[in-house]
Amino acid sequence: MEKILERINRKNAVIGVIGLGYVGLPLALEKAKAGYHVIGFDIQEKRVDMVNQGINYIGDIIDEELADTVRRGGLKATADYADLADIDAVAICVPTPLDRYQQPDTSYVEASAKEIAKRLHPGMLVVLESTTYPGTTEEVVLPILEAGGLKVGEDFYLAFSPERVDPGNKVFNTKNTPKVVGGVTPACTQVAAALYRNVLEGEVVEVSSPAVAEMEKILENTFRNINIALANEMAVLCNKMGIDYWEVVEAAKSKPYGFMAFYPGPGLGGHCIPIDPYYLTWKAREYKYHTRLIELAGEINNYMPDFVVERSMQILNRYQKSMSGAKVLILGVAYKRDIDDMRESPVLEIIEKLEKCGAELWINDPHIPAFTVKDHHYESMELTADLLQSADLVLITTDHTDYNYDMIATHARVIFDTRNAMKNTKNIQGDYEKI
């Protein structure tokens, strides 16, 4: 342990990051900026080539920082896992999706662990960062790594440290967000925490085990999932009662204690909040426990795309217009404002449902020039006054700050705003409704 700690503290350690996506690439860059030599691993050759050319594809990374770091040799990428043999510490940042039965798919984690196990050597640190169910580190990753005969806590070190990436956040990022670390043994925690303290500015919070760190991450996102579900259910009810939910929540925010504002929308998006709670509900069955509140929140949030489509139909009906053949202009495809991330975006489901209803869809997203939904290719159209005037319904599904809401207010005939994006817009000329 003394040798790996010395290499970490002197920044002589060679660091690996498996998976160069929204989590892995920012982490690899921060480690390289801190003075380590970093090797990024990814099975996508396009990503590898872009990184090695210093070309950025992640919104939260500054283009010049990546280019400069690659140019000076601090970071390189490869698809050849043989380079793991030269690594002192490696972080696993691969996807952990749900399968078709809403069960955790740990195949990417297992594949990464097997590649590491082939090159595992004394003194090596392995950290799993991919969000997953409590027990994954010790029940899935550890047996793979120990199969070769090396002993955790003595020959190598294994910990879990959950990613806390919030795409588009202008205040908190990989470098300044506190980091939770839980090792299989106290020595594992010590080594992993030492690495993060040498890289990050945020506090490093040590916990007693990987399971605690894994559950902590699930708690973070389940908390948000449940409270968003409450906001969505209140919004649905307020609509039926003729009450403006957005005015209600603004009034509630005036209370200086005991209340935290959450907002409704067209559904949940991103990799974490719509998915992570299902890891826990799946794991809970092992203990013969039914997570009723979590599953109910999921049902409510999953209903919101249907609610948006139903409301859209009701709005058009007021003008004796059927959804079949209606020209619907959708503003925003990304799952949240000012990013180009479509992962789990509820807008994709809304698009699919509107297509089935026979609507003629026009799409605009300033951050996503083109995309495909169920083999149907869409391209972002230029947002003009003529396009707005021609639409039977303008459906705001992502509240990008790039949009000229005054222009939308002036030219759109009918607007359905699912994000309260036009809350500060004056002189709305057409019919305007909020979720």
Of the candidates 23, 98, 144, which has an alpha carbon nearest to the alpha carbon of residue 283?
Answer: 98
CB-based contacts of 77, cutoff 8 Å, min separation 6: 20, 39, 40, 41, 42, 47, 48, 49, 51, 52
Q: Is 272 a catalytic residue?
A: yes
Q: DSSP secondary structure string, 343-388?
A: TT-HHHHHHHHHHHTT-EEEEE-TT-SEEEETTEEEEPPP--HHHH
Matching residue, tokens 């080594």: 191
**Burial class, 71, CB count within 10 angstroms (exposed 0-12 / middle 13-18 / buried 19+):** exposed
Coil, strand or helix at 180:
strand
β-strand pairing of 414-417 with 431-434:
parallel
**End-to-end Cα distance, the chain:** 56
Close Cβ partners of 19 (under 8 Å, ≥ 6 residues apart): 41, 42, 92, 93, 94, 95, 108, 112, 130
CA angle 44, 46, 50 (to 5 degrees): 125
180/16 Cα distance (integer angstroms): 19
- Looking at 93, 188, 272, 357, which residue is catalytic? 272
| Kind plus residue range of the DSSP H or E element containing 226 | helix 210-241
The DSSP letter of residue 80 is -
**Residues tagged active-site:** 272
